[in-house]
Structure 1
């Protein structure tokens, strides 16, 4: 699921059609910035995926700030980048892995078995002096079989039932309700523990499985777990980290806190919970 710059460079040198690279750089405060950075320079052969346009659906119909896209439309976009069932897809961002993680999760949810994240992202690539370009690749035609994995998703109703451990992936100050820059009310979903997604990495590089296991100490490997964040984006690195650590029963709540907190009838708390 996590590949190195060396691995990607070798794959590109061996067979350009075997791997598709997707640039997912994005700035939540400046939605146009990621595309501008891509146009300035990107990994050779990379296509650009915009969080709002390609990796999310239309807002206003529920599902929080970044509702899941229409998966048929998403699959068609992936096919236009040359993705087929046997293609390795390597997603990257600036190294935070939340936007690359979103693409990785969506492809996995679509049933694709070769979705990866570039360790360290574009920052690692450029720091190693590897080539970049402004040239944008031509559109291609892939054949991606859409086989949705509904077991990867938890609804708000399932979250409310309380049958699974909730992991809030946001920064601790948002989890504790000390600040809330985006949503209606500060706090978190009752009963959730906090594991900040950024702690899955060290200076942009993914921590090994042993370190991820330490992060999730106290949770049984087969325990039902539902991961959420603000809008279903930064939760995805924690899902990958849980898989690294050997957890087998993990779901994403796509609507996350932005959906949960938008309904005034749903409870909110600021008390810390832990394992």
Structure 2
């Protein structure tokens, strides 16, 4: 069983945050309060960190299909990396202050771009501050570098793939990462139609974390015990953001075949012909 380490501890960051070959990305954000993250970053951040905004840098233009947080134009994302002084040899570590969901989105995009040394900081900004480690309001302008992407298209599942598995035309597993009440259709605070994609099973993304840190590998393996690793595995959430922590969890448990459905549930319901289910499967 192949395991891939995708997180770094705060103790590692404490020893390496001044390393010239390390770039720190601050991804703090609040849904419904889009200016929160940038404002918080300007007030204080880990020294040397640059800011990536969920909706401006880690998402693209919202259209009829594609969900609420479609993937960004990758040329724009690569340009942002270059402007942040990131090249292919840079170790990139990412944090937020919301249990890792926004950081995991950025981590996933880095992996999608083909970046090997990309990690989420366990404990995030709150964990850093709890240890009374240095923070600053200073914003550094890094010299631009050249980045050569190697887009990993196999990390993505298209809506057609999801449709085939949902209709049982293709064997596979759909994992819904949202809160239980949303999956069951008992509550839907964001999307216009409650429920889930037919055939999907529910594994809340927060179950892979404790106190803002991802669980150890052994516990991640227990979490996904019994999952058939030979079948196609597609992970979704509401808009492709909180699915990313589940993918990180699956990868660490050895399920390297876990793919993201980027548009997720908000894309699924944008097609009038698609059915949704409520309650247990």
Task: Work out whether the TM-score is over 0.5.
Answer: yes
Q: Which secondary structure state, in structure 1, belongs to the residue aligned with residue 17 of structure 2? A: helix
Q: Report if the CA contact (8 A) 1:184-1:262 is conserved.
A: no
- Which residue does the alignment assign to 2:215? 207
- Which residue does the alignment assign to 1:60? 63
Of the structure 1 ranges 210-219 and 85-94, higher mean CA displacement relative to structure 2 is found in 210-219
CA distance in 2, matches of 1:61, 1:9: 44
Deviation at 1:78, TM superposition (A): 0.7
CA distance in 1, matches of 2:64, 2:194: 22
- Which residue does the alignment assign to 1:259? 267
Residue 193 (structure 1) aligned to one of 192, 201, 224: 201
Deviation at 1:220, TM superposition (A): 2.1
Residue 243 (structure 1) aligned to one of 248, 251, 268: 251
The superposition leaves residues 177-199 of structure 1 with CA deviations (integer Å, 9 ceiling, x where unpaired) of: 00011112100000101110011
Tell me, yes or no, if structure 1 residue 82 matches structure 2 residue 90.
Answer: no
- Which residue does the alignment assign to 2:3? none
Deviation at 1:209, TM superposition (A): 1.4
Deviation at 1:103, TM superposition (A): 0.4
CA distance in 1, matches of 2:278, 2:217: 30
Q: Report if the CA contact (8 A) 1:92-1:117 is conserved.
A: yes
Q: Report if the CA contact (8 A) 2:157-2:261 is conserved.
A: yes
| Superposition CA RMSD, Å | 1.1
CA distance in 1, matches of 2:8, 2:129: 16
Deviation at 1:144, TM superposition (A): 1.3
CA distance in 2, matches of 1:264, 1:146: 36
Deviation at 1:28, TM superposition (A): 0.5
Q: Report if the CA contact (8 A) 2:65-2:270 is conserved.
A: no
The superposition leaves residues 236-265 of structure 1 with CA deviations (integer Å, 9 ceiling, x where unpaired) of: 000000011111211000000001012221
Tell me, yes or no, if structure 1 residue 176 matches structure 2 residue 187.
Answer: no
- Which residue does the alignment assign to 1:3? 8
CA distance in 2, matches of 1:204, 1:160: 33
TM-score of the superposed pair, with normalisation by structure 2? 0.94
Q: Which secondary structure state, in structure 2, belongs to the residue aligned with residue 106 of structure 1? A: helix
- Which residue does the alignment assign to 2:102? 99
Of the structure 1 ranges 201-210 and 137-146, higher mean CA displacement relative to structure 2 is found in 137-146
Deviation at 1:83, TM superposition (A): 0.6
- Which residue does the alignment assign to 2:36? 33
Q: Which secondary structure state, in structure 2, belongs to the residue aligned with residue 116 of structure 1? A: strand
CA distance in 1, matches of 2:159, 2:122: 32
Gaps of 5+ in 1: none
Deviation at 1:222, TM superposition (A): 3.4
CA distance in 2, matches of 1:104, 1:143: 19
- Specify whether residues 228 and 83 from structure 1 end up closer, same or farther in structure 2 by C-alpha distance, changes over 3 A only: same
CA distance in 1, matches of 2:259, 2:8: 23
Deviation at 1:95, TM superposition (A): 4.3
Residue 27 (structure 2) aligned to one of 24, 27, 39: 24
Gaps of 5+ in 2: 1-5
Tell me, yes or no, if structure 1 residue 143 matches structure 2 residue 152.
Answer: no
